[in-house]
Amino acid sequence: MQGLNAIMNRTPLMPKATAVWLVDNTSLTFEQIAEFCQLHVLEVKGIADGDVAQGIKGMDPISSNQLSRDEIHRAEEDPSHRLKLLEPKVEVPEVKTKRGPRYTPVSRRQDRPNAILWLLKSHPELKDSQIMRLVGTTKPTIQAIKDRTHWNSPNLVAQDPVTLGLCSQIDLDAAVKRAAARLEREQKKAGITVEKAGSLLPTEETIGLGEAGAGEPEPGARFEPPQAPRRTWPARSPGKPATPWPRPSRSKRPRTRTPSSPS
């Protein structure tokens, strides 16, 4: 089934150049060419009008063993016929390239220790291999920062690697998510139950409005925050004069009379 899907999903080499050749040298419909080259019908029509693919030289699919002349003639006679690619004579295996460490520009390499320190503090669940892929560093550097034996350890400041431009937020979130799932699996395997953090308290409880149905505001009423109780003074006993409030002392200066000038 997978082999059949691979054959159906195969596209011709240089599909736009192949579409240019089919438009110029055959009487196939735009739909047939668009489906074979996996292009939009309007794009094929633009090629025929000269608005699209200007300057692109057409490539003959017959000489490249992608189509046969009989297949093209059959499609020209029957507009409902769909062109099919010829099976390749030589199967080239797909080469899987192993993803190496992330390349870090020279101008950003001095920021990697700060980013490693931030990852170790903010996400201790990350493995050293994940930090190496995110920042593009080596395991001895990570271990030196952990042990505080790095040559610049006293001057390191934890900084977000996304802010420094060393990795993207999508890659960081994906790594943290994988690390959290792995940690949860390890804890379940070891029989450790971890309590999840609860949700925030509702507003009625935090401001004291949900107590025994009292003080609940009516629908549509204007909310007024609770006020502190007013301070009340003890009642004065009868027959006892009230104690006057102490008044602040004022320094009195002697008034000096300015001698009037003789008239």
pLDDT value at residue 247: 61
How far apart are the C-alpha atoms of 14 and 61, rounded to whole Å?
Answer: 10
Is 34 within a domain?
Answer: yes
Q: What average pLDDT score do residues 66-79 get? A: 89
Is 38 within a domain?
Answer: yes
pLDDT value at residue 119: 94
**Tokens 């992608």, residue?**
66
Is 43 within a domain?
Answer: yes
Q: Is the pLDDT of residue 79 over 60?
A: yes
pLDDT value at residue 55: 81
Is 160 within a domain?
Answer: yes
Is 155 within a domain?
Answer: yes
pLDDT value at residue 2: 40
Q: What average pLDDT score do residues 129-157 get? A: 92
pLDDT value at residue 191: 82
Q: What is the pTM of this model?
A: 0.41
Residue 184 belongs to domain spanning: 109-190
- Mean pLDDT comparison of 86-100, 119-133, 194-208, highest-scoring range: 119-133
Burial code (b: 16+ CB inside 10 Å, e: under 16) for 197-234 equals eeeeeeeeeeeebeeeeeeeeeeeeeeeeeeeeeeeee
pLDDT value at residue 3: 44
Residue with the larger pLDDT of the pair 89 and 64: 64
pLDDT value at residue 5: 42
pLDDT value at residue 255: 60
Confidence of residue 65 (pLDDT cuts 50, 70, 90): confident
Residue with the larger pLDDT of the pair 248 and 35: 35
- The domain boundary, picked from 53, 77, 101, lies at 77
pLDDT value at residue 129: 92
Average pLDDT, the chain: 78
Is 122 within a domain?
Answer: yes
CA 181 to chain centre: 18
For residue 214, the cross-strand partners are 211
Is 244 within a domain?
Answer: no
Q: Is the pLDDT of residue 154 over 60?
A: yes
Q: What average pLDDT score do residues 120-134 get? A: 92
Q: Please state the domain count of the chain.
A: 2
The pLDDT tens digits for 161-219 are 988 888 888 999 999 999 999 988 988 888 877 666 555 566 566 555 544 445 555 65
pLDDT value at residue 4: 42
Burial of 75 (0-12, 13-18, 19+ CB in 10 A): buried
- The domain boundary, picked from 170, 190, 210, lies at 190
How far apart are the C-alpha atoms of 251 and 247, rounded to whole Å?
Answer: 12
Is 32 within a domain?
Answer: yes
- Tell whether 115 and 183 lie within a shared domain: yes
User: Poorest-confidence range of 119-128, 146-155, 238-247?
Assistant: 238-247
pLDDT value at residue 212: 47
